[in-house]
Amino acid sequence: MGKVDKVSRLAGQVILICKVLMLVADVAFPPPQLVETNTNTTAPIMAAKIDGHIIIGGLFPIHNKGEKGCGAINADRGIERLEAFLFTIDEINNSSTLLPGITLGASAYDTCGRAPYALEQSLEFIRASISNLDPTEFYCSDGSKANPVSIPTAVAGVVGGSYSTVSIQVANLLRLFKIPQISYASTSASLSDKSRYEFFVRTVPPDDLQAKALADIVAKFNWSYVAAVHSEGEYGEPGIDQFKVEAKSKNICIAADIEIPISATNATYEQVLKDLQEKHEAKVVIVFVRTEDAMGLLNAATRLNVTGKFVWIASDAWGNRNALVKNNALAAQGAITLELQSSPITKFEEYFLNLNPRTNRRNPWFVEYWEDEHKCAWNDKPHVTPYSAGGPPQYQPTRPCQGDERLTRKLTSQESKTQFIYDAVYAFAHSLDRMQRDLCPGFRGVCSKMKKIDGEKLLRDYLLNISFDSCVNVKYRTESCAEAQQ
């Protein structure tokens, strides 16, 4: 992508942020003529919530990205990651030593893998920061004091997002309100720029290391002539650029570098494969693409019967995801993929496999996940996929769910980013714990100095300097989180 295109995209991001801020102003201070008098006329934003004294926000791709909006339910990257977040909050609240007298709460939203949609959801995190009017200063016509219908709850920090494009847009918004953000999956090297993303940290290493690993693999097998495919955006572009730097240092030639646009279609993926086939000598293909693009590429390879023609060397977006290769075994045969090193959380495994729609009321998307996982309809209702491609609900008559279906790990393993979510929540908890001990000495619970969390102080004095022992026997330390662990 040329410099002009990148400048245009940056300008678009600025315009999008400005529009969001205008919307924020309307939310915080609506003009009298626009105030809703009937609360039932506006559908509430869906969220998974846990009540608490201090709230941690969460952003997860509960649904896949659809062609026009949100797509189908995202089982592992969405639901399982959300449940890992909620599980960790529960574990911290059950601790007798961490945050004594304080209940940690949660407020988690769906991003659908789309930056504009994620920004809209993130408005809920900042409403309290801008709604600073004191309702006790206002009186009703009969002389009584005004009571607010609802008071927005400020968040101390946000865990998320998943995709780098989402995290970049959300980081641009949260920094304006000095709200710390920890991502568990966004690996774009662009996010390491602290002059632009000073309130962003992460529990995963940046893509610089992946690019080096990909080049090392190519060199190890003495491959000197390769092709490359990357996704448009903040994941694929910086990633493949860094690979080119590493490849040049190892005398690896790149025959072609093909970009998959954000609005890719089946025809796009098929054309990518045809372009690759024209480079007859380049049998090894470096794949630095988003998950949906990896799926599109493999699906196209299966349709075109392009099997055994390429050796795929792919980044962590492909990783160990069974969903990508389940119907594309021949097309993916022989692929070498990277996955960030992590360890399963044993206690979460037991928790997740015993979840049931009857008892899991705090996750508003769990029934939809259950229906999709077991191919049944809850409460004898037709199966509904309300987010399908942003269009009308898709009704698929199915057998009724019995409620005694069981989640298993026969075909899948624990989601690979579970540990990074676990560490992100604990990083906030330990930072808040130390902050409470410093600001409220001898006090159990939230004292007056912590009624409103100073996000900049939380980040600078605690979050960037925290150190604790993770449950997987790893010493966890943040400076810029994973950047400090390179």
Please write down the HEC assignment for all residues of 262-289: CCCCHHHHHHHHHHHHCCCCCCEEEEEC
The SS3 call for residue 155 is strand
The bridge status of strand 376-377 relative to strand 284-288 is unpaired
CA–CA separation, 486 and 479 (whole Å): 11
The CA–CA distances, whole Å, from 15 to 114, 163, 477 equal: 16, 21, 36
CA–CA separation, 424 and 88 (whole Å): 10
CA–CA separation, 308 and 293 (whole Å): 20
Q: Decide: residue 36, CB within 10 A, 0-12 exposed, 13-18 middle, 19+ buried.
A: exposed
Residues 6 or more apart whose CB falls under 8 angstroms from that of 260 comprise: 229, 230, 231, 232, 236, 268, 269, 272, 289, 293, 296, 297
Whether 50 and 362 have beta carbons less than 8 Å apart is answered as yes
Residue limits of CATH 3.40.50.2300 in the chain: 47-205+415-477, 207-337
Residues 6 or more apart whose CB falls under 8 angstroms from that of 247 comprise: 215, 218, 226, 253, 254
Whether 49 and 97 have beta carbons less than 8 Å apart is answered as no
Whether 291 and 324 have beta carbons less than 8 Å apart is answered as yes
CA–CA separation, 41 and 216 (whole Å): 58
Residue 137: per-residue pLDDT: 56
- For tokens 């939310």, name the residue: 27
Whether 432 and 378 have beta carbons less than 8 Å apart is answered as no
The bridge status of strand 467-469 relative to strand 475-477 is antiparallel
Q: How far is CA 403 from the centre of its chain?
A: 29
- For tokens 């007859």, name the residue: 280
CA–CA separation, 486 and 484 (whole Å): 6
CA–CA separation, 38 and 40 (whole Å): 5
End-to-end CA distance of the chain: give it in Å, rounded: 29
Whether 438 and 470 have beta carbons less than 8 Å apart is answered as no
Spell out the per-residue pLDDT of the chain, length 486, in tens. Answer: 454 455 455 455 555 555 555 555 444 444 433 333 333 334 568 999 999 999 999 999 999 887 778 899 998 889 999 999 999 999 999 999 999 999 999 999 999 988 999 999 999 998 866 664 455 555 677 777 666 555 556 899 999 999 999 999 999 999 999 999 999 999 998 899 999 999 999 999 898 899 999 999 999 999 999 999 999 988 999 999 999 999 999 999 999 999 999 889 999 999 999 999 999 899 999 999 998 899 999 999 999 998 888 999 999 999 888 778 888 999 999 999 998 888 889 999 999 999 999 899 999 999 999 999 888 888 745 444 444 444 444 546 568 888 888 887 654 588 889 999 999 999 999 999 999 999 999 999 999 999 889 999 999 999 999 887 765 545 555 544 445 344
Question: Which of 310, 259, 242, 251 lies closest to 280, judged by CA?
Answer: 310
| DSSP tag of 152 | P
- For tokens 């086939």, name the residue: 277
Whether 253 and 226 have beta carbons less than 8 Å apart is answered as yes
Residue 68: per-residue pLDDT: 74
CATH fit for domain 207-337, picks 3.40.50.2300, 3.90.226.10, 3.40.50.1000, 3.40.50.1370 = 3.40.50.2300
CA–CA separation, 371 and 79 (whole Å): 13
CATH architecture label of 47-205+415-477: 3-Layer(aba) Sandwich (3.40)
CA–CA separation, 40 and 139 (whole Å): 25
What single string gives the DSSP state of each residue in 37-60?
Answer: S-GGGSPPPP-EEE--SEEEEEEE
